[in-house]
Structure 1
């Protein structure tokens, strides 16, 4: 069972003076008194208000939400469980129990709050909603898992599972990167329906939809290199091959119909086609290697689990013998 004293609530902040007190108070009212606010250099009274509300306050050494989360979990949190949320009062502290339940039950090591399960009016613009849907669909196609809402900032996870992840994103790409790393490291994930509210009046968002959306798509594609190499190299190879085929068709058309040769374009067409085919082959080989690697890891885990069970049975037998 998850003891609430074993949970640290992590709140990355940047100019959240209008809402941070409400958020901290909400979590403390549901029994989560260990609240850590990691501030990214607010120019308002965020840090002072957070301290007055009873939270520990840390000023992060770098910039960006991703850097704040990495620094907090690795260097300033020693509890076995972390509940991460935004400090903009869009998440309900009363959903904390549901978020922690899969960890308590031992069915998951990483929990994602699904905002689309109960999204209140005005919580997300149509553009943001559309962008979120496209990003979730892309994640499912590229990485093969349906996590419903990979951009959700409401997460619960074991510190041990977090430390297994190779996280480098500094900004809002941290949620996407965590989702990809869960797939890559076979972290058990549960998706929990939560309520998502509109920001209160006077609270401004730090999110830039176009810029941050581009960063997230790049992060999804970059991570595919090691998690789905067939997609990563295959997509580049397909584009290169199609470009070569189109240039070849153009050269043949001009030569047959007009009697005009295009030697330079012909060379480019051949080069693009050859490169594309090579990348496709490399993607297939890399995917085969990754599959074999995962099978070996799964085999080692089964062997290790069998050894642990055997050792437990041996110890139990020794205890019974000593009792006799």
Structure 2
């Protein structure tokens, strides 16, 4: 019996209406030596499941909806291999990059690997709007979470099943990649970034991504996750905004009183309240950040993180 070099890997491909591309994706990875290609379908209305089976994939239909739910369910119920190589079924990622993605896992250098699409992005692979959105989100991630993973929205990932099980993931849709990046930073999961080639979608295939809607969801997810990973930023930003607004209202009230002898009692109360709340939130953010730092230090000393 022939033993594959990738017996320790499950190729995980979440799909939704990818009949135009999924056959080639499965064929390419099986030709590269991956025997276990798992396609998790989100209820496609085209021939995605049939095409994937004919190409040699193991196909399951997820019980819920959304990419995030598909990934969580797949790892929990359908993956036995210690390593997972995750990618989209739209034909934009290459099987030729799989070795580079898996090498850090096998060498022990990392438990989570992100493929950097910007290292070799082919012409037409991403619109100017999507490029700008990706850059802004990656920059926001670096500011909020103190890590630079290069391309946190990349759908090409390699990770150990053990590291995935350490993550607390709740996103159902495209926010799953952002959540995984945040969890890697929060739980100090060894993470590395490798350059990959990112191809344009083949003609005839349609994207399931809605840039404005999904971009907004991702930004909100980044901010929401900052509450437990960077409370100083989370509460401090709200506090700073409240203090600035209160200060501006107070300045207006002062100018009106000095120049026109007009009093704005209600606005004065609003300004005082906004400034008071803002300062309290800033103080709370500092205290929460101190508590979090002490908690992390204790976990390191106990060897539990």
**Same fold per TM (> 0.5)?**
yes
How far does the alpha carbon of each residue in 1:21-40 deviate from its partner, in whole angstroms, 9 at most, with x for none? 10001111111110110001
User: Take 1:16 and 1:261, find their aligned partners in 2: how far apart are those partners?
Assistant: 65
Residue of structure 2 in register with 1:252 after alignment: 254
User: Take 1:149 and 1:73, find their aligned partners in 2: how far apart are those partners?
Assistant: 23
Q: What does 1:129-208 correspond to in 2, within 5 Å?
A: 129-208=131-210
User: Take 1:155 and 1:272, find their aligned partners in 2: how far apart are those partners?
Assistant: 44
Residue of structure 2 in register with 1:281 after alignment: 283
Provide the secondary structure at the position in 1 that maps to 2:109.
Answer: coil
Q: Which has the higher helix share?
A: 1
Residue of structure 2 in register with 1:22 after alignment: 24
Residue of structure 2 in register with 1:50 after alignment: 52
Please tell me the root mean square deviation across aligned C-alpha atoms, in Å. Answer: 1.1
User: Take 2:193 and 2:31, find their aligned partners in 1: how far apart are those partners?
Assistant: 24
Conserved? CA contact 2:5–2:33, under 8 Å: no
Stretches of structure 1 that go unaligned for 5 or more consecutive residues are 306-324
The count of aligned residue pairs is: 302
User: Take 1:78 and 1:237, find their aligned partners in 2: how far apart are those partners?
Assistant: 47
Q: Does 1:83 align with 2:53?
A: no
User: Take 1:77 and 1:28, find their aligned partners in 2: how far apart are those partners?
Assistant: 17
Deviation at 1:3, TM superposition (A): 4.9
Residue of structure 2 in register with 1:74 after alignment: 76
Conserved? CA contact 2:92–2:199, under 8 Å: yes
Deviation at 1:74, TM superposition (A): 1.1
Residue of structure 1 in register with 2:106 after alignment: 104
How far does the alpha carbon of each residue in 1:150-182 deviate from its partner, in whole angstroms, 9 at most, with x for none? 000000000010011010000000000000000
User: Take 2:5 and 2:224, find their aligned partners in 1: how far apart are those partners?
Assistant: 38
Instruction: Point out 4+ residue stretches in structure 1 off by more than 2 angstroms.
Output: none
Residue of structure 2 in register with 1:63 after alignment: 65
How far does the alpha carbon of each residue in 1:230-268 deviate from its partner, in whole angstroms, 9 at most, with x for none? 000000000000011001001111111100100110010
User: Take 2:296 and 2:235, find their aligned partners in 1: how far apart are those partners?
Assistant: 19
Stretches of structure 2 that go unaligned for 5 or more consecutive residues are none
Q: Which has the larger radius of gyration?
A: 1
User: Take 1:75 and 1:238, find their aligned partners in 2: how far apart are those partners?
Assistant: 45
How far does the alpha carbon of each residue in 1:51-99 deviate from its partner, in whole angstroms, 9 at most, with x for none? 1111111111111000100110111111110000000000001100000
Residue of structure 2 in register with 1:210 after alignment: 212
User: Take 2:64 and 2:259, find their aligned partners in 1: how far apart are those partners?
Assistant: 62
1:240 is matched with which residue: 217, 235, 242? Answer: 242
User: Take 1:3 and 1:150, find their aligned partners in 2: how far apart are those partners?
Assistant: 28
1:3/1:164 CA distance change after superposition, 3 Å: farther
Conserved? CA contact 2:12–2:87, under 8 Å: yes
How far does the alpha carbon of each residue in 1:251-305 deviate from its partner, in whole angstroms, 9 at most, with x for none? 111111100100110010010000000000000000000000110111111xx89
Provide the secondary structure at the position in 2 that maps to 1:4.
Answer: coil
Conserved? CA contact 2:64–2:70, under 8 Å: yes
TM-score, length basis structure 2: 0.98
